[in-house]
Amino acid sequence: MKSTKITNVLKDVTNSLQPDKKIDVIIELNPIKETGAGKMSRIEKIDFLKNAFEEELRPVANVISSQGDSILYSTWLNQTVKASLSTKSIEQLAELKEVNAIDLPRQIEKEHV
């Protein structure tokens, strides 16, 4: 895997897998440009962001479903998607302009202040 959108950790894991083996990944979409959102009410801004996320997600979801893979869940708030993908799909998704990064899921840890 050559793409800079795929993290080194994920590249290391996928290099040892068969091309059709499924792996859970997190796909980070590009940040949504909030042009004009400053003049919106909170509810309007949330609707705008949700709709913009769905538009950005559409080509990603199309690639995922066309490969027989699946979206496990998506989160508009941080513009991420958790999906079960084959190695081949990971490479195809990294080519999409909507995708910012692809990584393995990580456990959120509490900060020690």
Range of the domain at 21: 8-103
Overall domain count for the chain: 1
pLDDT in tens, the chain (113 residues): 578 999 999 999 998 888 788 999 999 999 988 776 678 888 998 899 999 999 999 999 999 999 999 999 999 999 999 999 998 899 999 999 999 999 999 877 777 77
**H-state helical runs in 16-113:** 42-66, 87-94
Residue 33 inside a domain? The answer is yes
CATH code, domain carrying 79: 3.30.70.80
Residue 111 inside a domain? The answer is no
So what's the pLDDT on residue 37? 63
Are 103 and 10 within 8 A, CB to CB? yes
Residue 44 inside a domain? The answer is yes
Identify the sign of the CA torsion 85, 59, 32, 101: positive
